[in-house]
Amino acid sequence: MTNINYEYIEDYIRGLVPEKKGQLKEMRQYAKENHVPIVEEETEEFLKFLIYMRKPKKILELGTAIGYSSIVFTETSPSIEKIKTIEIREDMVEISRKNIEDYGFSDKIEVLHGDAAEVVQSVEGKFDMIFIDAAKGQYEKYFNLVLKNLAKDGIIICDNVLFKGMIANQELVERRKITIVKRLRKFLKDIEENQDYMSSIVPIGDGVLLIGRKEDE
Ligand SMILES: C[S@@+](CC[C@H](N)C(=O)[O-])C[C@H]1O[C@@H](n2cnc3c(N)ncnc32)[C@H](O)[C@@H]1O
């Protein structure tokens, strides 16, 4: 229950998603049993749709966890030549590299170890899609840092921006999450007011924010 949509809507949409098979099923199971947060199933479908339609060649991801999303992205479109993904936890780096290797995607997915806000500063090149899914309190910082890597028609996608309903409903805010909630609210307001970017919040999963650069007029 994400507190964003009615439970019956979530259940209905999830019920339509075909059941995972093989390694992806095992990875979802592992994530559930070990409390590793990975992309919600309906968000996964939405991102796959975007990738399939936009056919990005290069993707930058902040927040690898067990490598699930980067594997799903790579599998979705043969257009993808390279995914660079950054993860702070050493155990996750190890697990994700193993999963990526087992999937046969080691040539396409590179896991970089470290704090995304630091590592990203030395990431060179332009990316057609940038998926921000690391520390939620740092999203505005990440956004500003990755702009140098955004291709002209590139898209930035931020997951969990409605954060279990807490962003929109003060009554749901947990005390220890107050700082994250305040920062996410500020980021969403700032991006909405920023005249240089087009943005849209999609209330699917835990809330997905889409950002694209406006064309020079
Ligand atoms: C929501 S999970 C990523 C899930 C993954 N994208 C997927 O859907 O399969 C967030 C990950 O970001 C990592 N993380 C948290 N803070 C970070 C930071 N400052 N730099 C890099 N990674 C960070 C966490 O360790 C966690 O594995």
pLDDT at 217: 58
Residue 63 CB burial class (10 angstroms; 0-12, 13-18, ≥19): buried
Question: With 90 as the cut, is the pLDDT of residue 57 above it?
Answer: yes
pLDDT in tens, 84-137: 999 999 999 999 999 999 999 999 999 999 999 999 999 999 999 999 999 999
Q: Which of 6-20, 53-67, 110-124, 157-171 has the lowest mean pLDDT?
A: 6-20
pLDDT at 1: 74
Q: Which two tokens stand for residue 200?
A: 């849209």
- Amino acid identity at 153: D
Pocket test for ligand 1, best of 64, 74, 160 (most atoms within 8 A of CB): 64
d(CA 159, CA 146): 15
Pocket test for ligand 1, best of 69, 95, 133 (most atoms within 8 A of CB): 133
pTM, 2 dp: 0.97
Around Cβ 45, how many Cβ atoms within 10 Å?
Answer: 19
Q: Which of 4-8, 54-58, 110-114, 154-158 has the lowest mean pLDDT?
A: 4-8
Q: What is the arithmetic mean of pLDDT over 181-185?
A: 98
Query: Residue 69 C-alpha to ligand 1 middle, in angstroms?
Result: 11
Specify the ligand 1 atom closest to the Cα of 68.
9
Q: Pocket residues for ligand 1 (CB within 6 Å)? A: 37-39, 63, 65, 68-69, 86-89, 92, 115-116, 133-135
pLDDT in tens, 27-48: 999 999 999 999 999 999 999 9
Q: Which two tokens stand for residue 108?
A: 């396409």
- Which residue has 């592992």 as its token pair? 30
d(CA 62, CA 84): 9
d(CA 93, CA 85): 10
The three-state secondary structure class of 78 is coil
d(CA 15, CA 69): 20
The DSSP symbol for 115 reads -
Domains defined along the chain, listed by start: 7-213 (3.40.50.150)
Give Cα separations from 106 to 70, 111, 161 (angstroms).
Answer: 11, 9, 30
